[in-house]
Structure 1
Amino acid sequence: MQKISSNFHFLRNKGFFDLLSVNFLTQFLGFGSTLLVAKFVTPVELGDIKILQSYTALFVILAGFGFNAAVLKVCAEDRPDQEKLGILRLAVQRAGVATAITILLVIVLALSGVITSTLRLSLWLIVYACTIPLQVLTGIFIVFLQAQKKIKEMARSQAVVKIQSVVLIVISTWAWGFKGFIFATIAAYALGLWPFLRQIGVNFLHTPLEQKPARFMQYAFFSVLGNGIALLGQRGDILILDHFTVDRAAIGYYALATIFVTAASQVTGTVQSITTPYFSEHAQDETWFRRQLFLNQLRMALLGVAVAVGVYVLAWILVPLVYGPDYSPTLSFLAILLINYVIASSTSLVGVAIFSLGFVKYNSLSVMISTPISLITTFVFLTKFGIIGVAWAQVVLALVSLCINAIFVNIVLNKAFK
């Protein structure tokens, strides 16, 4: 009991419960708002929303160019506060250039018909792309607070952002449907910058940086490479469905299942947010690092099973009650996608450990191997088994990633502590 009490107080002091409770609150609000949004739009429009979000998420990775990961790694190290502010300024400036280039790329690709399956979606993608610079700035501000272990401040800011976003998006979608959702999302991201700017201030814009941190651009480059390819693997199912499935309503059912999985992923994301700066701080302590990686990864795997069961029970109650029998395919998709979630949870801290030790290229290499396998498997399974095959393809990806991560983490640990 003393050990349990000690662990409880340790986690509370580190801000775990603050961040976890806010993540649950924000995810609950986001989940509830998504359920309401799904009621205010048709299944086809729900699928279109998911497609727009998937394309935009890829462009956000490119626009941010990994500078959020570089800020997280470098600012988590022992540096003067003024130097950290200078690093933040450097990241924002360079991300601004990358974002401008990305916006132009979105416009060119959308108007040329290279991406999205219809002209209607291409035009809406250009409008929705207004969220890209706002998402990039928000991501950098969040990791800046996280790197300084200001978990409580970060959590409170996220709570404020989510509450105002939910209210704005739900009311707008109820009033104006699909169009209301798009424009309200843009406005919500814009308003969401204020809580973070209040925490950080704007003085960083005038803070000089005498010398760029060593390997700053290397961290950024490998991060954008790894995250971009990883996100392509994660969202590839939606993108393939957009181009190779004529049943647009079925995409909406599948998209609803992914929303439940996203809710489950908040637990994983919370643990990763908490552990990253601590793993970076103890990157020179082999005994501590190996022990904590093993213990926390084991706990995360067990927690992933419990969360998956809870989410499925919740969906089993809500889907028929809220949407009726027509949405029954959602439960079949969800059961398979939660298997993928459990497997992914079993290696969720491996990437954090590799990143914290500075071997970011191995994370990039991991997704460079697994993503092509995922995309090929998704396409083949779709043609052979239909949309249910797409869900099983995600399980294949999770198993491949598990094997790759197990190999790479051993290589990295041996290299780091040789």
Structure 2
Amino acid sequence: MLIYFTELLKKAFKVGFFHLISANILLQIAGFGGQIFLTRVLPIEDIGRIRLMQSYIGIFSVIATLGINTAILKICSERITDESKKNYLVSGLKFNIISSIFVILSAITLIHFKVLSSDNITNKLLYLYLIQIPFTVVFGLIMAFIQSQKKIQLMSKIQSISKILVLLLSTSLAFVMGINGYVVGTVITNIVLVILLIQLSRKKYDLKINTKLASEGVKKIIKLGSLSFGTSLLWTLILSFNIVIAGFMSIDNKEIAYYGIANLIITTLMMIPMSLNQIMVPYISEKTNNHDEIARILTLYQKRMYILMLPLIIASYYLVPIFLPIVFGNKYSNSIDYFKILLLGLLFWCVYSPKNNILTSIGRMDINLYTYTFSFIIYIISNSLLIKWFGMNGAAYGFTLTFFFTIFINGFFYRRVMK
């Protein structure tokens, strides 16, 4: 067992697994505005507002992406010419810039009529916060292309540097200007970083803006993108839409903040199996038509997932309640109960996510779409009822129940495909 674990660590270092984990964790922390630091300088109500805004931006960004990032990852992982890969990337960027503009205009309309929130402060901040959507989408698309080329360490370095800069500027301005400074810092840093990334990508990959993709290529992007779009949107909603439901039900912003901290820790822990998933996609994609090899990979894949996550989940159950008040402050001790419930949901997700990722890698986004459609129905029903009855505890229960039932839904569809 020790020999196997040692070999696994060596391989993980070789493919850039630990680089990717560190980058993903930094991305998660920066994505929530350096929450560890903000909890020391902002009122709990403002932390609740930030969490709600982050939920909306996450949803709008997925809508603006239209699943093109997953399509690029899948297509550019295949054995096609470098010129074709660049053409796909440029075409994807054009699609996403146009779609981002439509999403921003739609979101402004919703904010104007106070559909997203009845809180005036949140609505005013959202107008500015929306500006980052096209830049976030473009960043994600370029990262998907780099990942498809198995340049994991390069991707990790770019993510790490960019997210550290976002973290530093947003939290520094938050000290000076409060929640307004956090929003301004996040938007400005994202804009500057993406402009620089586009310039670097044009030089490195010799990208030409006037590139045209054949109609067959456009159809392929749209087909794969539309399927992965639905799946990505549903996944994003499952991660955070219960916070939106709580907002509609006028749950206290303090309770939303406590839940948000617990959810932040869970999604940060989720970065570890997600890093494994990201690394596996290009390798599985190469074996798309070899079902025997796919079955072998799944067995190995699941074993690695359990070796990674079971010790981590057990340790987190005992250690997070000790360190959470130290890191975030004693006033966030209420987050511990939410965390323990959500931790069980993380375990359920780890059980089925390898199968889910294999289906993505072999181009069966339609199956993942069916899976998450059923899961989201369970999610909406359970969260709507449980939040009404139990407040934010109900949100944690709804999250965990959804992943429990998804194990069986995913298993059913996976078996049908592999037959």
TM-score range, shorter chain: over 0.9
- The CA distance in 1 between the partners of 2:268 and 2:351, in whole Å, is 17
Q: Does 1:319 align with 2:320?
A: no
- What amino acid is the match of 1:342? L
Q: Does 1:403 align with 2:404?
A: no
Deviation readout 1:293-350 (Å, 9 max, x if unpaired): 1221233134222222333444322333345543221100000011111111111122
| Pairing of 1:30-179 with structure 2 (within 5 A) | 33-179=34-180
- What amino acid is the match of 2:105? L
Match of 2:290 among 263, 285, 291: 285
| Pairing of 1:10-409 with structure 2 (within 5 A) | 10-24=11-25, 33-193=34-194, 196-197=197-198, 199-201=200-202, 203-204=206-207, 205-213=209-217, 215-409=220-414
- The CA distance in 2 between the partners of 1:230 and 1:22, in whole Å, is 21
- The CA distance in 2 between the partners of 1:152 and 1:169, in whole Å, is 26
Provide the alpha-carbon RMSD of the alignment. Answer: 2.1
- What amino acid is the match of 1:62? I
Q: How many angstroms does 1:114 deviate by? A: 1.9
- What amino acid is the match of 2:373? M
| Gap change, CA 1:4 and 1:115, over 3 Å in 2 | closer
| Gap change, CA 1:251 and 1:27, over 3 Å in 2 | closer
- What amino acid is the match of 1:143? A
Task: Report the 3-state secondary structure (helix = DSSP H, G, I; strand = E; otherwise coil) of the residue aligned with 1:79.
Answer: coil
- What amino acid is the match of 1:184? G
- What amino acid is the match of 2:90? R
Task: Report the 3-state secondary structure (helix = DSSP H, G, I; strand = E; otherwise coil) of the residue aligned with 1:346.
Answer: helix
Task: Report the 3-state secondary structure (helix = DSSP H, G, I; strand = E; otherwise coil) of the residue aligned with 2:117.
Answer: coil
Task: Report the 3-state secondary structure (helix = DSSP H, G, I; strand = E; otherwise coil) of the residue aligned with 1:347.
Answer: helix
Corresponding residue pairs, total: 414
Q: How many angstroms does 1:292 deviate by? A: 1.1
- The CA distance in 1 between the partners of 2:5 and 2:38, in whole Å, is 41
- The CA distance in 1 between the partners of 2:246 and 2:90, in whole Å, is 40
Q: Which moved more, 1:211-220 or 1:355-364?
A: 211-220
| Gap change, CA 1:377 and 1:6, over 3 Å in 2 | closer
- The CA distance in 1 between the partners of 2:272 and 2:115, in whole Å, is 36
User: Quick check: 1:22–1:158 contact (8 Å CA) kept in 2?
Assistant: yes
TM-score for both structures, normalised by structure 1: 0.93
Q: How many angstroms does 1:371 deviate by? A: 0.7
Q: How many angstroms does 1:26 deviate by? A: 5.2
| Gap change, CA 1:245 and 1:21, over 3 Å in 2 | same
| Gap change, CA 1:288 and 1:196, over 3 Å in 2 | farther
Q: How many angstroms does 1:210 deviate by? A: 4.0
- The CA distance in 2 between the partners of 1:95 and 1:32, in whole Å, is 24
- The CA distance in 2 between the partners of 1:8 and 1:256, in whole Å, is 31
- The CA distance in 1 between the partners of 2:115 and 2:106, in whole Å, is 11
User: Quick check: 1:147–1:277 contact (8 Å CA) kept in 2?
Assistant: yes
- Could you tell me the percent identity over the aligned residues? 25
